[in-house]
Amino acid sequence: MKSIIGNVLMSFVILGWIKAEITFPEHGVTLNYTHIMFRWTQEPDCNLYHLIVSNSLNETVINIHTDQMIYIDKDNFIWDQNYVAILTPIYDTEDNAQISDTISFSIGPAYTFADLNIEIINTEDTHNGLALFSQVSPNFRMVAIDKLGNQVWNSEFAYINHWNEHGQLFGMKDGRGVEVNFYDEILWMTPAGTEVDAHEIKQIPNGNYMGITTEYQLGPIPIGPWTESYQNLGYTADGYTNEFTWRGTKIIEWDSQSHEEVWDWNPFEHFSTDDYDSLEGRWWSPINGSSYGMIFDWNHVNAFHFDKEGSMVYISSRNLSRITKVSYPDYNLIWNMGPPSDFGYGDDNICTDLLFSCQHHIQLLEDGDLLFFDNGKLSEFFLNDQYPTSRIRRIRVEDDAYCETIWEYELPQELYGHSWGSVQLLDNGNYFIYTHGSGYQDGSICTLLEVSPEKEIVWRASHTIPLSVWYRGYKIPSIHPDAFSVHVDRFKTVLIDNSISEGIIVDENNQNIIFTINNYSDYSQPYLYSFNSGNESFTSVADTVNIESGESYIVSIGADELQGTNSTAIDLNVKPLHHKWASLDLTFDVFFISGILNNSHKSNMPTSLRVFQNYPNPFNPNTTIKYNLVKDLHVRITIYDLLGNTIKNLFEGSHVSGSKSIQWDGTNNNGHRVSSGTYIYNIEAGNIIHTAKMVLIK
């Protein structure tokens, strides 16, 4: 191999000396949150970064050193204030440091009318997350508070009706279903002109979006106490003449790219119009001034849950007090769950003894239990309650026929919620509950509760404005689900032909490209990464890894023979699977410099895994892969082709420390011999991935 010092290829473009740059937040921006994330680019040769932030009074609010390219502060920023941030890379000593980047930003005002009365009953058992709630009246606002009641985020950008475990936000904006983020950016919208119901929209596991839309059809006016009133308006109202507009709500799936409808569940095709509400008074609503006008609001879907494992959709029809389980995508009805037939809500419901009514926020838990908010608007009829009573229901369906109550919580009289409402099972085992708090003969006080499994209230927050309306409440880990960084090993400056260049340095004994993905998001997130080499000196790789909150993942990309190769370029892309808008697209030059990496420049690659090039290579028909483990680890070895298709699941299991080897005989998972060509072997050991190429010849 030849050194390139003083011998740069003519095709190599020398880069300028680029200092570390603050990329988030943007210079001059006004933020709508006080938990501030700073992110910046990697500086070559840098050991530490010094971040100083001061306010408009020249008071220092942050003064920290970190070896990462990201920092999140949750304690030192306040509303309605201006700030300046200064970033300084530190090399050998701080005496040699030079200011790299300076930005200014401001934080807007808090929403004072969203203040809550906070009561912490048990600090030790209270979840440390943020409470997120969507206020729709008297003002349209989205707000997140910490457990002390301090407002940390607010927005009037969109109405949020769903948050998920990856930190995605879904809701409505200007009459269209949307996915947005905490930075008030639209990530996806339903097609223009589609009448979208505001109750729920979400992304399902195949990447498409699912929501609720409307379907109108003429139907009969059933015989009841309202019959004469409709006849006085000129309707036949005989129970079978199709003369009145019924409003049905259906489930729609939109293709994420084309926005076309690819699947729908229509109640008029799967439910009977013989089933309708007669107890709550739905048929009185049109003639008494319903917001829908002279339209009967029939099934009123207000929530659904998509179960990836079972390929099922669970649908909550509020006005039928019915939960429906249907298979996806073939529409097979598995069951309807609801009241017994004598109440007129269906003749073939399961679990009729539960007697819930007007339920909200149906969801399937990881253990298969159903969790939902039972508004109980008909509980006086169904359960002989003294007054309407809302309950939290966690039930388990056995053999698609019977139900077992796993947990139930009865809200006190004053917290009865005639509509809206939500419940969330937290990772500490508590339940986070939102109730509209309309109460029995009392005013409306929206209330958030955190309740222990023993049914003790440990935290409570109530709105200070009577007659306010929220939709749902969630406990969330953070407002920065996109918080991650990528650190590339051996990124340095080198002197070539009296010019300073920047790149990743390799030599005879350190030929791998090593980078670390760091998850700072407070969420467990899957990350997509892809790696490509300009002249195929390195193995091209694309993969997905799941990284727990606060954890890191190290990837090592093996090189082919570098003899005669002076330099190359690589492209590295890393993005959270569910937050692709936060993608990091990085390009580096790679220099082979013989013998430059002495002990002081050795790779930061942990010594827990060392992988050797397979031998022989090229090979026919067998080759051996050797690797060393310094400690006991779970190991998975997979063979891929160059398109990323899995060829052979070679090994998966726990290994004790020591020297290991495994053979591949050139066959795929079906036992068939594969064709000649280049293949990739991928070794995962703990939180380390090593990837390299090998060539099969015949």
> Helices in 272-402 by DSSP H: which ranges?
379-382
Tell whether the model's pLDDT for residue 378 goes beyond 70: yes
Q: For residue 201, what pLDDT band results from cuts at 50, 70 and 90?
A: very high
pLDDT above 80 (res 17): no
DSSP letter for 612, please: P
Residue 98 pLDDT? 66
The C-alpha angle with vertex 111 and arms to 200 and 437, in degrees rounded to 5, equals 55
Instruction: Read off the pLDDT band of 604 (50, 70, 90).
Output: very low
pLDDT in tens, 129-141: 999 999 887 777 8
Residue 84 corresponds to which amino acid? V
**Cα 498 from Cα 427, distance rounded (Å):** 58
Check whether 610 has a pLDDT greater than 70: yes
User: Which amino acid is it at 70?
Assistant: I
State the Cα–Cα distance between residues 337 and 335, nearest whole angstrom.
6
pLDDT at residue 507, as a whole number: 82
Nearest one of 456, 392, 444, 453 to 421, comparing CA atoms = 392
- Taking a C-beta distance cutoff of 8 angstroms, is the pair 437, 444 a contact? yes
Q: Is residue 603 scored above 50 in pLDDT? A: no
Calpha distance 184→580 (Å, rounded) = 15
User: What pLDDT score was predicted for residue 689?
Assistant: 77
Q: Which residue has the tokens 């390929």?
A: 311
Examine residue 138 and say whether the peptide bond preceding it is cis (omega within 30 degrees of 0).
Answer: yes
Q: DSSP 3-state helix, strand, coil percentages of the chain (rounded to 5)?
A: 5, 50, 45
**Can you tell me the mean pLDDT for 629-654?**
87
pLDDT attached to residue 90: 84
Q: How confident is the model at residue 697 (pLDDT cuts 50, 70, 90)?
A: confident
CB atoms closer than 10 angstroms to residue 553: 21
Distant-in-sequence, close-in-space partners of 217: CB < 8 Å, separation ≥ 6: 245, 246, 248, 268
Average the pLDDT over 354-374 and give the result.
Answer: 97
The widest CA-to-CA distance across the chain, in whole angstroms, is 98
Name the one residue in this structure whose structure tokens are 């006085």. 232
Mean pLDDT for all residues in the chain? 88
Cβ neighbours for 115, distance < 8 A, ≥ 6 positions apart: 149, 151, 464
Q: Which two tokens stand for residue 352?
A: 């009729």
Structure tokens at 421: 């409402």
**What mean pLDDT comes out for the span 544-567?**
80
Provide the residue type at 118 as one letter: I
Type of residue found at 482: D
pLDDT in the model for residue 605: 45
At 96, is the pLDDT very low, low, confident or very high (cuts 50, 70, 90)?
Answer: low
Beta carbons of 635 and 629 less than 8 angstroms apart: yes
pLDDT tens digits for 276-317?
Answer: 999 999 999 999 988 899 999 999 999 999 999 999 999 999
* Rounded-to-integer distance, Cα 453 and Cα 341, Å: 33
pLDDT tens per residue across span 218-262: 999 999 999 999 999 999 999 999 999 999 999 999 999 999 999
> Does the structure show a pLDDT above 70 at 443?
no
Output the pLDDT for position 3. 28
Q: What CA–CA distance (Å, rounded) separates 403 from 371?
A: 12
Contact in structure between 647 and 641 (CB atoms under 8 Å): yes
Say if residue 650's pLDDT is above 90: yes
What separation in angstroms does the CA of 547 have from each of 39, 42, 167, 513, 519?
Answer: 19, 21, 15, 20, 6
